[in-house]
Structure 1
Amino acid sequence: MPKQSPVPDEMTKPFWDACNEGRLIMQACKACDYLQYPPEPECFECKSSEHLEWREMSGRGKIRTYGVVHDCPVKMLQIDQPFNVALIALEEDPEIVLYSHLPGVPVDEVPVGASVRVIFQETPSTGQKVPEWEVVN
Structure 2
Amino acid sequence: MVVEIKKDKAIIEIERSAACKSCGMCLGGNNNKMRIEVLNQPNAEVGDRVSLDIQRRSVLIAYSTVFLLPLFFLVSGFFLGEFLVNSFSIGLDPQNFGFFMGLIFLGISYLLIRKIDTKVASNSQFEPHISRVWKKN
User: Smaller-chain TM-score range?
Assistant: under 0.3
Taking structure 1 as the reference length, what is the TM-score of the superposition?
Answer: 0.27
TM norm structure 2: 0.27
Of Structure 1 and Structure 2, which has the larger fraction of its residues in helix?
2
Name the larger-Rg structure: 2
